[in-house]
Amino acid sequence: MTRTTRRIALTSAGELFLARAQRVLGELDAARGELDELAAVLRGRVTLGATQALGPFNLPAALATFHTCYPGVALTLRSGLIAGLLAALDAGDIDLILGPIHADLPDRYSPQPLLGEELVLVTPPGHPRARTPRLTLADPRDEPFVCLPQGSGLRAILDQAAVAAGFAPRVEFETHSATSIRELVSAGLGVALLARSAAHAPGPPVTINVLHPAPPHPPAGLIHHRDHRLTPAAQALRRHLADAATGIGATRLPDRV
């Protein structure tokens, strides 16, 4: 330190020492913040809302590995249709949604697309439409459809695609899951639009037909409310699910089975 009658100033060596000391203190503060965040994650709670149609994403496996990494986090899973889950997100009843990200998603939500998906037409085994070389959605226009109820994303896609094809679909059977759609179609009760991954999932036999053109299907991804701050536990789950989706291939499944 250099001292004069007018002022006190650091020497060059003192300035170097001060800069290093400030860096060390900054690193200590950052480390303290990271430890506080980790402690909050380890004792946190998070509620995830998820739809059933998630493409090739294996949610149970992803949640199992998250539980292994953060065994102290109280994790709640809530299933439902996307409209109901968004309402729960607005109310603060859930922290995150894993589901379809529709193009008309309001700006108050922050989306993070993870995986693409494709829609196919599923018909009962041996259905005559399976012999159609270039099947369009208008081809089965006179047949009964099986679908999710009004208010669901899949129902909106079917209604919009049918209008574009020049008809109104006759939905005779409504159900609340992709699994039961497949079961009803397999039993011969109608035809249905279904995500390709759901059509290829284990279950009763159906015929999977490519549509020309195929109605667009929204990507699956994560959604949180812009005005609701994510807790450290919710942030950790969001990172974990995004990492779990990374590397899932877009391997094309057979057109028909």
* DSSP per-residue codes, 64-116: HHHHHH-TTSEEEEEE--HHHHHHHHHHTS-SEEEEE--TT--TTEEEEEEE-
The phi-psi region of residue 80 (left if phi > 0; otherwise alpha if psi is between -120 and 50; otherwise beta) is left
pLDDT for 257 equals: 37
Q: Which of 153, 178, 164 is nearest to 214 (CA)?
A: 164
pLDDT higher than threshold 80 for residue 144: yes
Q: pLDDT for 222-249, tens place per residue?
A: 999 999 999 999 999 999 999 998 866 4
Please determine, for residue 13, whether its predicted confidence score (pLDDT) is greater than 80.
no
Cβ–Cβ < 8 Å for 108, 224: no
Instruction: Give residue 86's pLDDT.
Output: 96
Q: Which range is least confidently modeled, 45-59, 69-83, 102-116?
A: 45-59
What is d(CA 171, CA 181) in angstroms, rounded to the nearest whole number?
A: 12
**For 66-99, how does the pLDDT look when each residue is reduced to its tens digit (9 = 90+)?**
999 999 999 999 998 888 999 999 999 999 999 9
Name which residue leads in pLDDT, 56 or 94. Answer: 94
Q: Where is pLDDT greater, at 181 or 28?
A: 181
Average pLDDT, the chain: 85
> What's the confidence (pLDDT) of residue 26?
67
Nearest to 112 by CA among 239, 22, 256: 239
Residue 249: per-residue pLDDT: 46
pLDDT of residue 57: 85
Mean pLDDT in residue range 176-196: 93
Q: How buried is 230 (Cβ within 10 angstroms: 0-12 exposed, 13-18 middle, 19+ buried)?
A: middle
Confidence at residue 153, expressed as pLDDT on a 0 to 100 scale? 85
11-30 mean pLDDT: 67
As a whole number, mean pLDDT of residues 38-64 equals: 81
Interval 107-134 mean pLDDT: 89
Note the pLDDT tens digit of each residue in 118-130: 899 999 998 887 7
> Which among 140, 127, 56, 54 has a CA at the least distance from the CA of 97?
54
pLDDT range class, residue 42, cuts 50, 70, 90? low
Q: Both ends of the chain: CA-CA distance in Å?
A: 83
Cα dihedral: 257, 255, 50, 81 (round 10): -90
Q: State the pTM of this model.
A: 0.67
| pLDDT-based confidence at residue 251 (cuts at 50, 70, 90) | very low
What are the phi and psi torsion angles at 172 (to 5°)? -95, -20
